Amino acid sequence: MYKKLIFSLLVFAVCGCSAQPSERPMVSAVVEIPTLPEELVFAGERVPLENFDTRESLMREMLVSLYMHSRTSQTLMNTTRYFPIIEPILAEYGLPEDMKYLCVAESGLDPNVVSTAGAGGLWQIMPAVGKENGLVVDSQTDERYHIEKATRVACTLLKSYYEEFGSWAYAAAAYNLGPNGLRRRVDKQQATNYYDTFLPEETLRYMFRILSFKLLIEDPDHYGYRLSKADYREPLTDYHEIEVSGKPIDWAAVARDNGTTYKMLRQLNHWIRDYDCTNSAGRTFVVKIPNEGFRTDSK
């Protein structure tokens, strides 16, 4: 009797479980293929969308950008925080404003991001490149994370690449691949523009990743991202600057002495990478100090 009862319960459980899915309505996510524009211009240069490979490459990166929802949403929200810093520096160096989308493609506008290869900051500058261009790069102080200084280095590099290769798309490719690698391939292929040049996979996709962010950021609603004005993050401008020098420097003490916290000091000065700075070179640092009410007024 006991065995029969156990068997009956098992049959009932199996039958009940197998019947449950059919009783639930099927739920599926709606995935839409985005429409591409008929014409597209980047930094004053026409993108040849009449070419099938150009369209397909752009579509690939659009799909990647659009369907990484959480990361892309964060990127969109950060545009209003970091573009006001980047855009005037681009103008100062005579670069097209569209080059800000290269920064988006590099870091997703995360000022603290570091790649597996060791590139760091908004512009993903490698340590050696940073040092070659006058940035302090060590474990305690890393100016690749200094937004203004890193942007100026990126502008210097991009401007030199444009002067050599004659187009902003090629300048972007050189930023990704390195000028020597690009030069060698352009010379071998006798190519005259980015869209006709065969390049390593990452660099082949690079310009289209930049273009995908340009399209998305300029018209997020068209691509299904519903952000209100309140969703966008305000620039962190409620601060004053002081000079800090000496050997060594205790950044937590600097914060306390100036009425703030080490956490908020790092919020404004991403280039500070440790609690202490030995400052063996005797440098004087310009440091952003939050004003009173910084954490509430900036919301």
CATH of the domain at 192: 1.10.530.10
Does residue 285 sit in the same domain as residue 202?
no
Angle at 198 between CA 192 and CA 56, to 5 degrees: 100
Q: Is residue 117 part of a domain?
A: yes
**CB atoms inside a 10 Å sphere around CB 1:** 5
pLDDT given at position 18: 46
Q: Which of 182, 203, 231 is the last residue of a domain?
A: 231
Does residue 286 sit in the same domain as residue 155?
no
Burial of 28-67, coded b for 16+ CB within 10 Å and e otherwise, reads eeeeeebebeeebebbebebebeeeebeebbbebbeebbe
Nearest to 194 by CA among 161, 164, 172: 172
Give the integer Cα–Cα distance in Å for 75 and 104.
8
Does residue 140 sit in the same domain as residue 247?
no
Q: Which of 195, 211, 231 is the last residue of a domain?
A: 231
Q: Is 105 exposed, middle or buried (0-12, 13-18, 19+ CB in 10 A)?
A: buried
Q: Which of 179, 197, 231 is the last residue of a domain?
A: 231
Does residue 140 sit in the same domain as residue 265?
no
Does residue 54 sit in the same domain as residue 196?
yes
pLDDT given at position 153: 98
Q: Is residue 28 part of a domain?
A: no
Please, what is the angle between helix 69-92 and helix 100-107, to 10°? 140
What are the beta bridge partners of residue 46?
41
Q: Is the pTM of this model over 0.95?
A: no
What are the beta bridge partners of residue 288?
241
pLDDT given at position 6: 44
Does residue 170 sit in the same domain as residue 226?
yes
Q: Alpha helices, DSSP H only, in the chain?
A: 2-23, 52-66, 69-92, 100-107, 127-132, 147-165, 168-177, 179-189, 201-218, 251-257, 262-268, 294-297
Number of structural domains, the chain? 2
Range of the domain at 176: 41-231
Give the integer Cα–Cα distance in Å for 163 and 171.
9
Please, are residues 257 and 121 in contact by the beta-carbon 8 Å criterion? Answer: no
Does residue 226 sit in the same domain as residue 251?
no
Give the type of residue at 218: E
Phi, psi of 243 (to 5 degrees): -100, 135
| C-alpha dihedral sign at 216, 39, 192, 98 | negative
Nearest to 89 by CA among 109, 110, 103: 103
Q: Is residue 26 part of a domain?
A: no
Question: Per-residue confidence of the chain (299 residues) as pLDDT tens digits?
Answer: 444 444 444 444 444 444 454 555 555 567 889 899 999 999 999 999 999 999 999 999 999 999 988 999 999 999 999 999 999 999 999 999 999 999 999 999 999 999 999 999 999 999 999 999 999 999 999 999 999 999 999 999 999 999 999 999 999 999 999 999 999 999 999 999 999 999 999 999 999 999 999 999 999 999 999 999 999 999 999 999 999 999 999 999 999 999 999 999 999 999 999 999 999 999 999 999 999 999 986 54
Q: Is residue 243 part of a domain?
A: yes
**CB atoms inside a 10 Å sphere around CB 189:** 12
Does residue 69 sit in the same domain as residue 206?
yes
Q: Is residue 4 part of a domain?
A: no
